[in-house]
């Protein structure tokens, strides 16, 4: 499933939830959601780079590798972001994926500096 996830044999905390790469699940206080392979890879990649903007091409590379990109790679990445946003809400993770216009995407965790300010501005 990619270099990032190959190194992640231990469950990865995502806010109040835990990503189990092998089981392809995100489990939190409000429930457990099974994720598609590409969504697991993308969430793991974002978690490793939490708080930093990940360029769209880097996110696509995380899902497909650095070889020839699938024609719909960016569209698929956006669809996976929607899946992950829903999973983060359904599990009560308290984490949020933010789109940085024309730059990429960022995973904000609830205990990160500025996360509460970002949430207030979005409300």
- Across residues 97-108, what is the average pLDDT? 91
Residue 6 to residue 21: CA distance in whole angstroms: 9
pTM above 0.85, yes or no: no
Q: Distances in Å between the alpha carbon of 41 and those of 23, 56, 93, 99, 118?
A: 12, 14, 17, 18, 25
pLDDT 10s digits, 51-73: 999 998 788 878 777 665 555 56
pLDDT at residue 45 in the model: 92
- Per-chain mean pLDDT for the chain: 82
Q: Which domains does the chain have, with CATH numbers?
A: 3-122 (1.10.10.10)
Q: Distances in Å between the alpha carbon of 68 and those of 42, 81, 101?
A: 18, 21, 25
pLDDT 10s digits, 7-41: 566 889 999 999 999 999 999 999 999 999 989 99
Q: Are 9 and 1 in contact (CB under 8 A)?
A: no
Helix (H, G, I), strand (E, B) or coil at 100: strand
Q: Are 80 and 87 in contact (CB under 8 A)?
A: no
């Amino acid at each position: 499933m990619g270099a990032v996830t190959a190194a992640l044999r231990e469950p990865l905390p995502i806010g109040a939830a835990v990503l189990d790469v092998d089981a392809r699940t995100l489990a939190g206080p409000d429930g457990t959601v099974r994720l598609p392979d590409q969504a697991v890879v993308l969430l793991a990649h974002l978690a490793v780079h939490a708080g930093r903007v990940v360029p769209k091409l880097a996110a696509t590379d995380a899902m497909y590798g650095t070889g020839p990109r699938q024609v719909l790679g960016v569209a698929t990445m956006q669809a996976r972001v929607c899946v992950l946003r829903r999973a983060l809400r359904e599990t009560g993770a308290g984490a949020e994926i933010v789109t940085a216009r024309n730059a990429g995407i960022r995973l904000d965790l609830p205990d990160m500096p500025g996360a509460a300010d970002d949430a207030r501005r979005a409300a």
